[in-house]
Amino acid sequence: MKALSTISASSLQLNHDLLKWFVILCSALFFLASTATGQQQPNTTAYELLELNGFPAGLLPHTVVSATFHSNGQFEVHLSGKCSVDVPGEYPVSYGSRITGVLSKGRLSGLSGITVKAFFVWWSITEIFVTGQDLVFTIGIASASYPASNFNDSPVCGNSMISTM
């Protein structure tokens, strides 16, 4: 009879451990499901989320009307319309009314909705990443680096960006 009670006690301990792990797993799944709805944190703007991830707010023009950020880093930003910016001495930049990609610490990847005109052709900027005090912009196999401080202020659509990039 003593052996039976020992088995029952270890069996109860095993069931208790399984129940504990089940509750932890369910809680984690509930948390992931609730954050996967994609809504950004209340009162957090797209500009603030850029800054929280190591980017200057001026990467986006002043015309952001809404933004959705998912827990996996995917995002979608809507502007009030298309936006063109002339950068003196550099290349014209165009923002579509919808910009998408993946945001992580120091990296914007899988970008769509931002183009730059170089050598008479419009190229999609596909990635932007931080290296030291610079931002590196990637278009296909080419890239260009600029001081991050050049992007502290959001560009005004239809105007020249007052900056010496």
Q: What is the pLDDT of residues 45-71, one digit of tens each?
A: 999 999 999 999 999 999 999 999 999
Amino acid occupying residue 28: A
Q: What is the pLDDT of residue 42?
A: 54
Residue 75 has pLDDT above 60, yes or no: yes
Model pLDDT for residues 86-122, shown as the tens digit of each residue: 876 778 999 999 999 999 999 999 999 999 998 889 9
pLDDT over 70 percentage in the chain? 68
- pLDDT above 80: residue 9: no
Q: What is the phi-psi region of residue 34: left when phi exceeds 0, alpha when psi lies from -120 to 50, beta otherwise? A: alpha
Sign of the C-alpha dihedral computed for residues 29, 34, 100 and 107 taken in this order: negative
Residue 37 pLDDT: 37
Rounded Cα distance, 46 and 102, in Å: 13
CB 126, CB 139: distance < 8 Å = yes
Q: Most distant CA pair in the chain: distance in Å? A: 90
pLDDT at 29 over 80: no
Report yes or no: 133 and 145 within 8 Å, Cβ to Cβ: no
Predicted TM-score of the model (pTM): 0.69
User: What are the phi and psi torsion angles at 106 (to 5°)?
Assistant: 75, 10
**Quick one: pLDDT at residue 43?**
63
Q: How wide is the angle at C-alpha 45 spanned by C-alphas 40 and 49, nearest 5°?
A: 75
Q: Within its chain, how far is the Cα of 91 from the centroid?
A: 24
pLDDT for residue 86: 84
Q: What is the mean pLDDT of residues 74-93?
A: 89
